[in-house]
Amino acid sequence: MSHAGRSIYEELGAKPVINAVGNATVIGGSRLSPKVQEAAEVANRYFVSMEELLKGTGKIIADMLGAEAALVTSGCAAAIALGAAACMAGSDPEKIAQLPDTTGMKNEILIQKRQRYHYDRCLTIFGAKLVEAGDDSGTTADQLEAAITDRTAAIHYFAPGGAEGVLSPEEVVGIGKRNGIPVTVDAASQIYPLDKLHRYTGMGADLVGYGAKYLGACHSSGILCGRKDLVDAAFLHSFIGYETGPAYSVGRPLKLDRQEIVGVAVALREWFDMDHEARIAEHWQKAQTLQDALADIPHLTFAQVPEERSLGNALRITLDEGAIGKTASQITEALREGNPSIWAGDSGNSISIGVANLIDDDVQVVADRLRELLTA
């Protein structure tokens, strides 16, 4: 880690972190790709009509995603919040101004009981109420359909699903279509394999949200795509709708910078053009370098662990904790307390070193710190 990279944080009272966990919000989420960083610097030269920029990038992004329309948002959380607002109030200026008071509107969003998750609260920002369908054992198609009432504004799905007792996205979309209810999908990190970026709109989901941080764009950026009428409504609910539209929306705080918007378009194009086999091979090269650096330390076993999206590929180091005299959690805690701090994962007697966000210099620093802790 360069001295400049460390000092800029230390001068501001924060400890620099080496990211060995993944695209975690609490440590900054993403590292801009060189192309995105260059584009942001170029975009800084001129100001621009944000309305024109959002509409122009929306058309380009929609084309790449095979969707009717798209909108750059301030993260995937903002995408699903704006999507919920669009499903409740649509493009009606009076209803837009009325939110988060949903009196007289359809304001309930259905979610499968076993799909409740940490970020579903974002659906309620504009006043929506979450209604659970099914129970702890799961949700059937009949239960989800029976939960639909004249208050139902949308059905929400947390991708990729697949848990026992959880309906598939295809089943949920089918139920939505039969009942004329929009289906929204939180597909924040579902960006690889590349066909996942077309999957949900392709099966008929009405609105889909992605986190652009996973693509190498700014941590604070995302994408909402899907049905044009609903994306157009989300635009009116957003910060630029507040500034240029006929009604005051709740979305004014969800503001973006022009560099962020440009960065999302550049990052998405780069992601589609990227040699992903080479990207993944680089992950395993880093994992192997780290493994080779620690291979002579006794009481350790290693496994290179792939992750479905190839975003969280990792080296798993399993400890004989009795022989080493330390637990895996004690090791990861000590890694975090150092300077630079190293954030890694642990489970049971294993340490997980995520390699996707490590630069070459980081690999050596992580290896040296682990050797110090494991041999002390």
The pLDDT-based confidence of 228 (bands split at 50, 70, 90) is very high
> Would the pLDDT of 187 be above 90?
yes
CATH number at residue 323: 3.90.1150.180
How much is the average pLDDT of 173-199?
Answer: 98
> Would the pLDDT of 375 be above 70?
yes
How much is the average pLDDT of 165-191?
Answer: 98
The domain boundary residue, chosen from 237, 254, 273: 273
Query: Could you tell me the pTM of the whole model?
Result: 0.95
User: pLDDT by residue (tens digit) across 204-214?
Assistant: 999 999 999 99
> Would the pLDDT of 1 be above 70?
no
How much is the average pLDDT of 147-161?
Answer: 98
Q: What is the pLDDT of residue 332?
A: 98
The domain boundary residue, chosen from 242, 273, 304: 273
**CA 244 to the chain's CA centroid:** 28
Start-end of H helices in 310-356:
321-324, 328-337
Q: What is the pLDDT of residue 5?
A: 74
Count of beta carbons in the 10 Å neighbourhood of residue 126: 24
Measure Cα distances from 119 to 103, 155, 157, 189, 252 in Å: 24, 15, 12, 13, 20
Would strands 314-319 and 300-305 be described as parallel, antiparallel, or unpaired? antiparallel
E-state strands within the chain: 17-19, 69-73, 108-112, 129-133, 152-158, 183-186, 207-211, 222-226, 300-305, 314-319, 341-343, 345-347, 350-354
Instruction: Look up residue 172 and give its two tokens.
Output: 């949920």
User: pLDDT by residue (tens digit) across 84-128?
Assistant: 999 999 999 999 999 999 999 999 999 999 999 999 999 999 999
Same domain, 314 and 348: yes
How much is the average pLDDT of 131-148?
Answer: 98
> Would the pLDDT of 130 be above 90?
yes
The answer to whether residues 221 and 263 touch, using CB atoms and an 8 Å cutoff, is yes
The answer to whether residues 53 and 280 touch, using CB atoms and an 8 Å cutoff, is no
The answer to whether residues 184 and 209 touch, using CB atoms and an 8 Å cutoff, is yes
User: pLDDT by residue (tens digit) across 74-85?
Assistant: 999 999 999 999
Residues of the chain above pLDDT 70, percent: 99
Number of domains the chain is built from: 2
> Would the pLDDT of 233 be above 90?
yes
Q: What is the pLDDT of residue 7?
A: 86
Q: Which of 237, 267, 269, 268 is nearest to 255 (CA)?
A: 237
Same domain, 95 and 8: no
Same domain, 23 and 135: no
User: Angle at CA 91, nearest 5°, toward 85 and 97?
Assistant: 65
Instruction: Look up residue 242 and give its two tokens.
Output: 């507040």
How much is the average pLDDT of 264-289?
Answer: 97
Domain residue limits at 108 = 34-273
Same domain, 179 and 320: no
> Would the pLDDT of 135 be above 90?
yes
Instruction: Look up residue 208 and give its two tokens.
Output: 């889909």
Same domain, 104 and 145: yes
Residues of the chain above pLDDT 90, percent: 95
User: pLDDT by residue (tens digit) across 28-73?
Assistant: 999 999 999 999 999 999 999 999 999 999 999 999 999 999 999 9
The domain boundary residue, chosen from 227, 254, 273: 273
Q: Which of 208, 110, 102, 92 is nearest to 152 (CA)?
A: 110
Burial of 176 (0-12, 13-18, 19+ CB in 10 A): buried
Rounded CA separation 332/29 (Å): 19
Average pLDDT of the residues of the chain? 96
CATH number at residue 169: 3.40.640.10
Same domain, 217 and 317: no
Same domain, 70 and 117: yes
> Would the pLDDT of 323 be above 80?
yes
The pLDDT-based confidence of 4 (bands split at 50, 70, 90) is low
Same domain, 316 and 244: no
212 DSSP 8-state letter: G
Q: What is the pLDDT of residue 2?
A: 53
Helix 50-65 to helix 258-273 angle, to the nearest 10 degrees? 20
How much is the average pLDDT of 239-261?
Answer: 94
